């Protein structure tokens, strides 16, 4: 069971669209090399970016359509609470 509860500052009704979601591991190296910004973590808003951006997450998880991202830290923190299924790498 996760130590993070409903009072965690990162939780803002994401269960509406991410509970039980299938997420795909999306290492940064697979991002478009010239992209400066691909998105942000749905929980902590850490940038998810391609290229050499230093403030971006090095690994993340994405929904099948790539419209929702979760950084690896938030994934580990919330995977049980959100009952995520991990698909094969993209």
pLDDT in tens, the chain (90 residues): 345 566 899 999 999 999 999 999 886 544 444 455 567 899 999 887 655 555 555 678 999 888 899 999 999 999 999 999 999 754
pLDDT at site 56: 52
Does residue 5 sit within a domain? no
Does residue 2 sit within a domain? no
> 58: which DSSP letter?
S
Does residue 37 sit within a domain? yes
Does residue 8 sit within a domain? no
Q: Against a cut of 0.85, is the pTM above it?
A: no
Does residue 79 sit within a domain? yes
Q: How many domains does the chain have?
A: 1
pLDDT at site 1: 37
Rounded to whole angstroms, how far apart are CA atoms 88 and 61? Answer: 11
Range of the domain at 24: 15-86
């Amino acid at each position: 069971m996760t130590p993070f509860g409903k009072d965690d500052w990162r939780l803002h009704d994401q269960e509406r669209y991410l509970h039980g979601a299938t997420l795909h591991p999306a290492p940064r190296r697979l991002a478009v090399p010239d992209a400066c910004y691909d998105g942000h973590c749905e929980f902590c808003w850490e940038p998810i970016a391609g290229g050499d951006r230093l403030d971006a997450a090095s690994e993340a998880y994405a929904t099948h359509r790539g419209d929702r991202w979760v950084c690896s830290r938030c994934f580990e923190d919330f995977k049980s609470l959100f009952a995520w299924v991990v698909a094969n790498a993209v």
